[in-house]
Structure 1
Amino acid sequence: MTGGRPLFVLPHTTALFPGVVLSLGVSRRDNAALVSSLHKASLSSSSSDKLVACVTLKQGANEGDSAASDAAATDGYRDDDRDSDKQLVKFSDDLSLFYSYGCLARVVRVERAVTGQLQVVLEGLSRFRLLSITSKDPYCSATIEQYDITPPDSTDIPTYTLVAQLKRLARDLLSFLASASATSSPPATSSLASNTRAIRRLEAVVNRSGYQDAGKVADLLVFTLDVPVEQKIAVLAARSQVELLSKAVELLSQQINMIKISQSINTSVDTNLNKKQRDFLLRQQLKAIRQELGDKDNEFNEDEELSELAKKLESAELPPEAEKVVERELKRLKRMQPTQAEYQVCRTYLETLSEIPWSVATDDKIDAEMMHGAREQLDHDHYGLEQVKKRLLEYLAVIRLKSRGQDKSVIEKAPILLLVGPPGVGKTSLAKSVASALGRKFYRISLGGVRDEAEIRGHRRTYVGAMPGLIVQAYRKVGVINPVVLLDEIDKMGENSVHGDPSAAMLEVLDPEQNNAFNDHYVNVPLDLSKTLFIATANSLDTIPAPLLDRMETIRLSGYTYLEKKHIAQQFLIPKQVVANGLENGQLNLTENALLKIATSYTREAGVRHLEREIAAVCRGKAVEFASFLENETAEKYESLVNENDVEKYLGMEKFESEIAGRELKPGVVTGLAYMGSGNGGLLFIEASKYARGAGSGGGGGGLQLTGNLGAVIKESAMLALTWVRAHGFELQLVDASTDNPLAGYDVHIHAPAGAIPKDGPSAGVAMTVALVSLLSMKPVPAEVAMTGEMTLRGQVLPVGGIKEKVLAAHRAGIRKILLPLRNRKDVEHDMPQNVRDEIVFVYLSSIWDALAEVWPDTGRPVTMVESRL
């Protein structure tokens, strides 16, 4: 029978069969228009008014179709709604969008779900073939050819045989599903596997069905199977009873075989499973599935992974000793089962060996222009630091000469450089510049806080969670054997503890004579570190053990002068902060006087980090002004220039003032120089005062009291100074010939201000002696004069360390004359910036009398006594 019917479009995963009741959520526009039209029909309407032709949409037939749709049967066995079509198919008269066969259905009811979605219940009646689309608006209508399958003839032996086979397979399938549901391990072959109630109802239908009901039972069983919709449409397209039963029997046989295979896999896995192997259940299941499928060529299995690992190790060009270890471990790995606990440990070890760049090296930029290019690179990245640049260029020159006629990648015994200096002077960035000049890869290892030896040498593989040390990990990440490795903050490594001594572990790393065979505990194969350029950084040498310090070449980086800070700010800091704060070139112009004021009145440091923060604050202030100018055209014209008087507007009141500006010229006050532990120099003020001894304390005098958080060495210097002054009171004209004690009846109190700061070291002997002489002679010391040096009991001035740091600190504080030990003259002439030497007068002392004569020119020297031998 041929006629026209409205089309109800089913999701591409659903097919409706005669005798099946299907509940669907309506989300398509055409379906919604059709259902609404039927819902408005009166109850007295004929049943033919509620007949619709249900046709399945092909997957991928339209871009807007959702491919994840589903439906549910409500024939008493299933009652759920899983229609998830969220997109609409555009109306089209193209028959290729739909399958050619469908099911004529009656609309049982239309209702509104709790969620607000429209629900429709359809009852399948008969099969049809789609002929043409007749209309598209508001819903599709089509011309169909409706047909029915005649009941089977009981006298037809082939048909009778198919009916019997169908019922037997149906009972087997439902029996398998019921047993799987009872054991809570349903196979993924039917959506009924976890629905015990639905299985029982299907069993009742199969058991009650007679010979004439075979076609209905076949339709119902095929509908419940989770098979591709194409196979269901093929059953729906059957024209005869024999064709219908044959296709249904074939599908049921396939499903039963799949269930048997699944149960066989589960059984084989369970028999080999024990308590220790439960964690590897999924791996065994996957392996069993692959064996059943017989598909080993296209799947990436364990054997292929081991083959790839072996190839990777072979291409790594390991040294002979490492090759022996790898060969032995690969044999062990192939004999082990993946379920063994040691399997993954052994495999991880071999993967680590394959990732170490045993022979991969970066070619250095060794050519005729190398030296010139390296010099330009260092000058471009850093201002000043001439001694450091000189040493690095020497290293590059050696590489250049050794590479002639040799393999450019082979450079032996690279030096171990140690850059020592206060924070913010460019130690880390200098190492990056070296890597860039050489054309090598750069890697930074932070040693601050490292307290475990295993972090350097690695853990032994017998420990749980063992891993290589920081050195081996660095090579794995950079991928070459000759990088530039920065060992940052080497002076802040942890000391000897229960975890070992990490500084002792670094001895082999940083020894050019030994590190060609470095032994990491995890790798346990010698690794050549001699091609790596190690650059270490530290703020102080005091906390570095002497054996470790002996293995490194020390290069000192002192603080910057104001002139150097000005150039650094103009060349590096200002352009960087202008871009970082949203400005452009030309929108901020800091005058030299403004820069000098920021450096002197708002910062007090050896480096330039705080100076950069203050420049950033000025940039932010100018950014606010420029943003206001852009938003308000009537505002005052934007001014990019920042002069000395504008600085306070952006940075607030001055944070520092000259340390000697407010110093009163009083007897007993002297400006000394000290070296701070962080690598900075500073001023050390010495104040001396005398007071009368208390009643009943006895005669004499010369007691000494010290305050200011002074250490043992500086206390000894004070005692030595007091003894020398008392011993030379007559020569100093502090006493006359009748008395020999310039402190008769008095005690002395020496104080160093800033008592919260610990002070120690052999640098204050000269300053304390001059302070005592000033106190007792009542002659003040000029404020612009500073001094440093230690003194012996005979009055000789001894050399001290940290001269450059002390002189730079004095220069920043406005000191213009410095008294230094004579044997420190080479430090000034060799390592002091020229502008500092031009602005400061250096006076060199061989004895304390030289210092007194420089401070007070009228001080007489003692007459040398000549012993008579007459």
Structure 2
Amino acid sequence: MPTTTPAPSSPEDVLIVLPLENKVLLPSVVLKINMRGRDAVLLTRRHLRLNEQRKPTFIACIPLINRLPIVAAVKDEGFLSINDKDRLFHYGCSARIIRIQRSGLGAFTMFIEGVARFKVEHYLTQPDLYHQETLCVKAAFLQDTSPLTAGTLDDDSVIRFKALVKEFLGKMKDLKMPDILIQQLSKLMDTVAPPLLADMLASIIETSFEEKLSMLATTDTKERIEKASEWMTRQLHVLKISEQVHSSIEGRLSQKQKEFYLRQQLEAIKKELGELDGSNSDDKDGANEIDELEQKLQEAELPEEASVVARREMKRLKKLQPTSSEYAVARNYLEVLADLPWNKMSKDSLNIHQAKDKLEQDHFGLKQVKKRIIEYLSVMKVKGDLKAPILCFVGPPGVGKTSLGKSIAASLGREFHRISLGGVRDEAEIRGHRRTYVGAMPGLIVQGLRKCKVNNPLFLLDEIDKVVQASHYGDPAAAMLEVLDPEQNNSFTDHYINVPFDLSNVLFIATANSLDTIPEPLLDRMEVITLNGYTFEEKLHIAKAYLLPKQLKIHGLYDDQQEREHQQVHMEDDVLLKLAENYTRESGVRSLERTIASVVRAKCVELADLREAKKEENYNPLVTLPDLERILGMAFYEKEIAEREPLPGVVTGLAYSGSGNGGILFVESTKMAGRGELHLTEGSLGDVIKESAHIALTWVKAHAYSLKLVSNESTNLVDKIDIHIHVPGGAVPKDGPSAGVTLVSSLVSLFSGYYVPPTTAMTGEISLRGQVLPVGGIKEKVVSAHRAGIRKIILPFRNRKDVQQDVPDKLKEEIEFVYAKNIWDVLEAALIINENDRWNTRFYENRL
């Protein structure tokens, strides 16, 4: 029985099993193995890691002896599971990986050297780099029995074996085998021990699979030498017979062999001509470019489907002439495939504290947006991976939607790429062009991935609400459906590359000014996050912390080392607030930034003049309120509310535009002699406001007696008069269900003589029964009212939660909010005849 002791050359006795089909590895023999897929990547990474530590990589090579019918024979070697252990031989050979190199698209060639025989003790499984169970073996390394010593080197079996080896070398010379191979074998015969030489020759000469298995399982050295001598004798007899047969058919080559030899000679002649004459340098450059492209494709680690297409196109490219048009098309296509990041991914920096600091540093306010981003990062950190959401930031221009996307990418540590969708009218801009067209190119998504060089960047789809819909070029908005669907974009197919690409790792963020123009199916795929306009307090903070330092850096008046007190332009809070209130009127801060830049440029002119006059010490960096009028001229906007006189029939309402801007509007009503008709100023009034006006007049006529506007219930309030309602600002379109209470208050004020103070505004719709219905855009309306000088706002009772959640605390302190359930509550809170005589409930105790 063989003894089992650990082999000194193999430090591990638990090795990963690599099954060999139709091959047997023996000690000191070098074997080439082709692998692909997960197994190849696993061994490659394991080898590279150990190689960096200057350690050898050992594996267990065990021949396959039992081929189950349900398992198809495979071309390349690969790992097995624990259920396949019965297919393996009970002996094997540990091997050291010498070198691993790429040999094709997704394939690897591995060179291994046999180290020591072993007998299988038992099999077990261990997790690999992919956390999947891999078959391993507990090896009992075998020590040779009856080892040859100095006294046994003259043994008859050894002498006979060496004589056969010399005779075999002589036959190889006669057969004109490569001189290098003959020299190496001659050297090994003199330096290598006979048992190892027997193993090596058993792998060189023609032996059956079963014979190699018996050589692997034989531990007695003398027995191995005798087996090798027997097979060597047989091989010599075969060579002698083949030599006799060959002499009789010498010169009878097949047509295919002749063509092969002729092609080899032609290639050699071309190489010689290329060395003597430089006229073929372009062909050589073209060949080098193709080799480089093929190498790039191998390094790209394409998936199986894309790898098949790339191999087919590469074969076709090699057959084409470089001057043909199809050559350029095929080459460009392969370059796009090679440049795409199929498996390249950047690592997310999941530091929640740093992400919070980054978002707070770059943006002021936006609590809901920051909260959503922190939630996404936290879930990703806890779970390990998370399907990227499709976020859509909706808000007016200038509130920081695009810059917020950049900050999110920076906090995640991802590549950032912006895709401008405004005005895109061709479906091919998204999905790419077919390669049959001249000048075909990939779509914006694939181009962005190619530029970012990773498959998990952050894509900002800017102005998605301005994509042209349903033109004769196709529907780009419909083409975005697959891109923005988390359940479908893992196999997004661009028309140009025509193979699926996984977009599930990409974090898409879309921006829009309005949701009205976004198709419903596209909007359904996105998570909408609303960014509202800024209050004056928020604009003041943004101007101090971001806008003014930014403009000072741009104009060369400030750097990071300077203290705020030593800036060359200094503005106090009242100056910045004046700029925000009287020189700009917007929801965002773009106009405010441009206005600050105008002031900074004026101070630059002042500083430059003083430097030329060598009086720089007279420069004053402080900008005062009088300086603003000198630099910017008269204020563009005034608080129009403060200048209005309270008049019966004139009421201030609140409006909301679809772009996220709020505003105020005035409703004016007057009466004249007539026949009870209602006149509305046509033009900018929409149908919804016209309906509200008719409902308002109907309600006032129905409740005229309760309002003490007529003496008895049967009297018609407008029997001999006409009513005219006008909304100033004819050039501005006005529509929407939020002016009902304003219209009722205007009519009641007109007929009663009571007035609504100019600093009081209201919004809400009414029903025919006088119920006050909720409306939208509360924060925008409140911010615009505060901007205009409103100090009291009447809102529907069901909008109370919107004020509590969205309106900043500073505005809640400065504005009085009144919540009305019906129109009577509105009239009570709004109408007064003077400061000491307010509309009182005792005038309409019988109200409904």
What TM-score bracket applies, with the shorter chain setting the length? Answer: 0.5 to 0.7
Q: 1:635 to 1:528 in 2, by over 3 A?
A: closer
Query: Aligned ranges for residues 111-510 of structure 1 at < 5 Å?
Result: 290=274, 293=277, 300-366=284-350, 370-403=351-384, 411-510=385-484
Quick check: 1:570 aligned with 2:544?
yes
Alignment check: 8 A CA contact 1:702 1:745 kept: no
Query: Aligned ranges for residues 586-665 of structure 1 at < 5 Å?
Result: 586-633=567-614, 637-665=618-646
Quick check: 1:834 aligned with 2:826?
no
Displacement, 1:702? 3.5
Q: C-alpha separation between the residues in 2 aligned to 1:849 and 1:771?
A: 14
Quick check: 1:561 aligned with 2:545?
no
What amino acid is aligned across from residue 574 of structure 2 in structure 1?
N
Displacement, 1:826? 1.2
Displacement, 1:412? 4.0
Quick check: 1:805 aligned with 2:780?
yes
Alignment check: 8 A CA contact 1:689 1:749 kept: yes
| Alignment match, 1:743 | 718
Displacement, 1:292? 6.9
SS in 2 for 1:660: helix
What amino acid is aligned across from residue 517 of structure 2 in structure 1?
T
Q: 1:297 to 1:822 in 2, by over 3 A?
A: same
Q: C-alpha separation between the residues in 2 aligned to 1:496 and 1:757?
A: 29
Q: C-alpha separation between the residues in 2 aligned to 1:751 and 1:738?
A: 28
SS in 1 for 2:500: coil
What amino acid is aligned across from residue 841 of structure 1 in structure 2?
E
SS in 1 for 2:665: strand
Alignment check: 8 A CA contact 1:573 1:612 kept: yes
Displacement, 1:588? 1.4
What amino acid is aligned across from residue 818 of structure 2 in structure 1?
V
Q: 1:414 to 1:691 in 2, by over 3 A?
A: same
Alignment check: 8 A CA contact 2:607 2:616 kept: no
Q: C-alpha separation between the residues in 2 aligned to 1:397 and 1:521?
A: 37
Cα RMSD (Å): 2.2
Displacement, 1:297? 9.2
Q: C-alpha separation between the residues in 1 aligned to 2:616 and 2:436?
A: 73
What amino acid is aligned across from residue 757 of structure 1 in structure 2?
V
Alignment check: 8 A CA contact 1:421 1:679 kept: yes
Superimposed CA distance per residue, residues 718-762 of structure 1 (whole angstroms, 9 cap, x where no aligned partner): 111111111111111111116432112111111111111111111
| Alignment match, 1:671 | 652
Alignment check: 8 A CA contact 2:341 2:449 kept: yes
Structure 1: gaps of 5 or more residues: 1-285, 404-410, 694-699
What amino acid is aligned across from residue 454 of structure 1 in structure 2?
A
Structure 2: gaps of 5 or more residues: 1-269, 559-565, 832-837
What amino acid is aligned across from residue 810 of structure 1 in structure 2?
A
What amino acid is aligned across from residue 787 of structure 2 in structure 1?
R
Superimposed CA distance per residue, residues 320-369 of structure 1 (whole angstroms, 9 cap, x where no aligned partner): 22112212222222233334432222221111111111111111112xxx
SS in 2 for 1:690: strand
What amino acid is aligned across from residue 479 of structure 1 in structure 2?
K
Displacement, 1:645? 2.8
SS in 2 for 1:358: coil
Quick check: 1:512 aligned with 2:490?
no
Alignment check: 8 A CA contact 2:708 2:844 kept: no
Q: C-alpha separation between the residues in 2 aligned to 1:738 and 1:485?
A: 67
| Alignment match, 2:790 | 815
Q: 1:496 to 1:739 in 2, by over 3 A?
A: same
Q: 1:412 to 1:738 in 2, by over 3 A?
A: closer
Q: C-alpha separation between the residues in 2 aligned to 1:582 and 1:350?
A: 48
Displacement, 1:580? 1.7
Alignment check: 8 A CA contact 1:494 1:501 kept: yes
Query: Aligned ranges for residues 642-791 of structure 1 at < 5 Å?
Result: 642-693=623-674, 700-707=675-682, 709-737=684-712, 739-791=714-766
What amino acid is aligned across from residue 762 of structure 2 in structure 1?
M
SS in 2 for 1:485: strand
Q: C-alpha separation between the residues in 2 aligned to 1:376 and 1:433?
A: 11
Q: C-alpha separation between the residues in 1 aligned to 2:371 and 2:809?
A: 17
SS in 2 for 1:360: coil
Displacement, 1:542? 0.9
What amino acid is aligned across from residue 373 of structure 1 in structure 2?
Q
Displacement, 1:600? 0.7
What amino acid is aligned across from residue 842 of structure 1 in structure 2?
F
Alignment check: 8 A CA contact 1:688 1:772 kept: yes
Displacement, 1:417? 0.7
Displacement, 1:291? 8.5
SS in 2 for 1:301: helix
SS in 1 for 2:501: coil
SS in 2 for 1:661: helix
Q: C-alpha separation between the residues in 1 aligned to 2:662 and 2:278?
A: 78
Q: C-alpha separation between the residues in 1 aligned to 2:533 and 2:278?
A: 73
| Alignment match, 1:32 | none
Q: How many residues align?
A: 565
Q: C-alpha separation between the residues in 2 aligned to 1:434 and 1:327?
A: 39
Q: C-alpha separation between the residues in 2 aligned to 1:477 and 1:552?
A: 25
Q: 1:292 to 1:713 in 2, by over 3 A?
A: farther
Displacement, 1:293? 2.3
What amino acid is aligned across from residue 795 of structure 1 in structure 2?
G
Displacement, 1:635? 7.8
**Which sits farther off after the overlay, 394-403 or 473-482?**
394-403
What amino acid is aligned across from residue 301 of structure 2 in structure 1?
E
Q: C-alpha separation between the residues in 2 aligned to 1:632 and 1:865?
A: 79
Q: C-alpha separation between the residues in 1 aligned to 2:617 and 2:326?
A: 76
Q: C-alpha separation between the residues in 2 aligned to 1:550 and 1:335?
A: 49
Q: C-alpha separation between the residues in 1 aligned to 2:847 and 2:554?
A: 72
Alignment check: 8 A CA contact 1:591 1:644 kept: no
What amino acid is aligned across from residue 623 of structure 1 in structure 2?
C
Alignment check: 8 A CA contact 2:827 2:839 kept: no
Q: 1:309 to 1:424 in 2, by over 3 A?
A: same
Alignment check: 8 A CA contact 2:654 2:665 kept: yes
Superimposed CA distance per residue, residues 641-685 of structure 1 (whole angstroms, 9 cap, x where no aligned partner): 122232212211111100212212111111111111321111111
Alignment check: 8 A CA contact 2:794 2:826 kept: yes
Q: C-alpha separation between the residues in 2 aligned to 1:835 and 1:544?
A: 34
**Which sits farther off after the overlay, 639-648 or 299-308?**
299-308
Alignment check: 8 A CA contact 2:274 2:281 kept: no
Q: C-alpha separation between the residues in 2 aligned to 1:741 and 1:613?
A: 57
